[in-house]
A = this chain, B = another copy of it.
Amino acid sequence: MLSHTEENHLKAIFHLSKDQNEGVSTNSIAQNLKTKAPSVTDMLKKLCDKNLITYKKYQGALLTDDGRKTALNIIRKHRLWEVFLVEKLEFNWSEVHEVAEQLEHIKSKKLINELDRFLGYPTKDPHGDPIPNPAGFIKHTTKVLLSDLKKGEKGTFVGVKDSSSAFLKFLDKRKISLGSLIEILHIEDFDDSLHVSIGNTNLTISMKSANNIYLKKQ
């Protein structure tokens, strides 16, 4: 039985190892979990003893198959709870993360499988991220960043890279929601800002924002 802290470390290692091949660094985990490096070092030793990660001093951490499966199970729970909060309890997508961080640690297989059924076996969470199945299998879909599109290209908004509350509220204010069709009308030379059409309206999006918006290309 893993503690909340152990589970959080596994999750952090999972997320941080997506964008890279080497071991996940102690500092990056500490930053991700808002804790300090020595705390992480201690935890890495413990998780290594439990065969959930491989870890050699100064070389960062990598999930074992077991650790990966455990991490995906926590992520599955997190994302299913997020769906529940939005679909059934009328939370906004910018409000769910904090509560799901708590709910993901509840231990009950039956609970999560029944929740899955109750929600109609959703495949995506409210931010467009895929929900792993009970075996830890995750279905990836090809998607590109809005910032990578060229003038005239278009796509459907399918996810966010940064799902911070601030960015999600920013999107709400501009009526940009999952499923919106976005087309690049013009790219400003000076600051790379994008003039885009979304539905019937046109608006300007900064490079920084465009770098957080995933599209399914059309």
Question: How near does chain B come to A126, taking the closest CB pair, in angstroms?
Answer: 15
- Is A189 an interface position by the 8 A CB rule? no
- Is A19 an interface position by the 8 A CB rule? no
The answer to whether B115 touches A89, judged by C-beta atoms less than 8 angstroms apart, is yes
Question: How near does chain B come to A2, taking the closest CB pair, in angstroms?
Answer: 14
**Range of interface residues on chain A?**
10 to 19
The answer to whether B108 touches A98, judged by C-beta atoms less than 8 angstroms apart, is yes
The answer to whether A114 touches B90, judged by C-beta atoms less than 8 angstroms apart, is yes
The answer to whether B103 touches A106, judged by C-beta atoms less than 8 angstroms apart, is yes
Task: From known contacts A89-B114, A89-B115, infer whether A102 and B108 are also in contact, taking CB-CB under 8 Å.
Answer: yes
The answer to whether B114 touches A108, judged by C-beta atoms less than 8 angstroms apart, is no
The residues of B that contact A115 with a CB separation of less than 8 Å are 89
A72–B146 Cα distance when bound, in Å, is 50
Question: How near does chain B come to A91, taking the closest CB pair, in angstroms?
Answer: 7
A88–B84 Cα distance when bound, in Å, is 12
- Per-residue CB proximity of A76-87 to B under 8 Å, as 1/0? 000000000100
Question: How near does chain B come to A13, taking the closest CB pair, in angstroms?
Answer: 24
Question: What are 18 A-B pairs with beta-carbon distances under 8 A?
Answer: A85-B111, A88-B118, A89-B111, A89-B114, A89-B115, A90-B114, A91-B110, A98-B108, A99-B106, A99-B108, A99-B110, A99-B111, A102-B106, A102-B107, A102-B108, A103-B103, A103-B106, A106-B106
Q: A interface vs B, CB < 8 Å?
A: 85, 88-91, 95, 98-99, 102-103, 106-108, 110-111, 114-115, 118
